[in-house]
Structure 1
């Protein structure tokens, strides 16, 4: 299908169609979905203990995008295992001061991570960066809906996906 638009100098030969009043508002209302409420880890009275299922060492609540107003579902309850491993540098230091995400400990310092295996299909909604230029084996993880990140990382072609415990929201 093709629509020919008249040039600005040409006189209209047929009545111009106009966008109906209220169309934009109707489209926004129909495409908006209820946004789930999420909490960041520091807001829980017992911190990590409140979001961890002790029997299985997995995430008790669903993991959500931490951006206010997004709340996209990233991972269902029980789909990730808590692991402690060394922190890594996910973004340059000059960006960390401007990032809305919780800072990570310096590289080499122990940190808590949600480990997701065996494939990216375990996620409900996650985005992957291109391989990093300074580390071509690494990709960063971000919210697939609003692109907030990095929330975690993975190795290209790997079967382990790491989400920083303090960089995701938790369904309340």
Structure 2
């Protein structure tokens, strides 16, 4: 009798491991207001504490649900959109873009991928890298500047684990 596993047994084990339950992403539009997504971050004074993400941020693609950022890691910021000269502007219904600011380095993420730097023809404008789900490559979910220490995830482009 051989102690080697059969190919059918190996295949069955591989298939079973890929059937793990994935979290379901809830989109920002499912919440009545942005305040439902926020919680006060760590601080000695609750009034001055930064507002951070209450829930894990997930890949919004149905069937993926990969955790991109754990709860209370991203700081809520509203940015005035400034499009990159080589990229079309991201669509927005409001004049500001609500983002999760992640610092100080990419190790704060659970699962994120980066594009190559997008070239620019404007002198002095840093190159941008686009952020995508590292598991399924859905993106762009946000951006960073090449060599920088700040990473922005657009709040409308990620999912939320609200349970």
TM-score normalised to structure 1 length:
0.73
Alignment partner for residue 104 of structure 1, among 91, 95, 105?
A: 91
Indicate if the aligned counterparts of 1:87 and 1:104 stay in contact, CA closer than 8 A: no
- Partner secondary structure for residue 76 of structure 2: strand
Moved over 6 A (4+): none
Residue correspondences, number: 144
Distance 1:115 1:132 in 2: 20
Task: Kindly state the Cα deviation for residue 75 of structure 1 after the two structures are TM-superposed.
Answer: 0.4
- The equivalences for 1:1-172 within 5 A come to 20-21=7-8, 24-44=11-31, 46-54=32-40, 56-89=50-83, 104-105=91-92, 109-134=95-120, 137-172=127-162
Indicate if the aligned counterparts of 2:58 and 2:161 stay in contact, CA closer than 8 A: yes
Distance 1:81 1:123 in 2: 13
- Partner secondary structure for residue 166 of structure 1: helix
> Which of 115-124 and 52-61 deviates more?
52-61
Task: Kindly state the Cα deviation for residue 129 of structure 1 after the two structures are TM-superposed.
Answer: 0.4
Distance 1:157 1:34 in 2: 36
Indicate if the aligned counterparts of 1:65 and 1:73 stay in contact, CA closer than 8 A: yes
TM-score normalised to structure 2 length:
0.77
Larger Rg: 1
Q: Which runs of 5+ in 2 are unaligned?
A: 1-5, 41-45
Structure 1 vs Structure 2 CA RMSD: 2.6
Residue by residue over 1:144-171, the C-alpha shift from the partner in whole angstroms, topping out at 9 and shown as x without a partner, is 0000000000001101000000000000
Q: 1:152 to 1:139 in 2, by over 3 A?
A: same
- Partner secondary structure for residue 144 of structure 1: coil
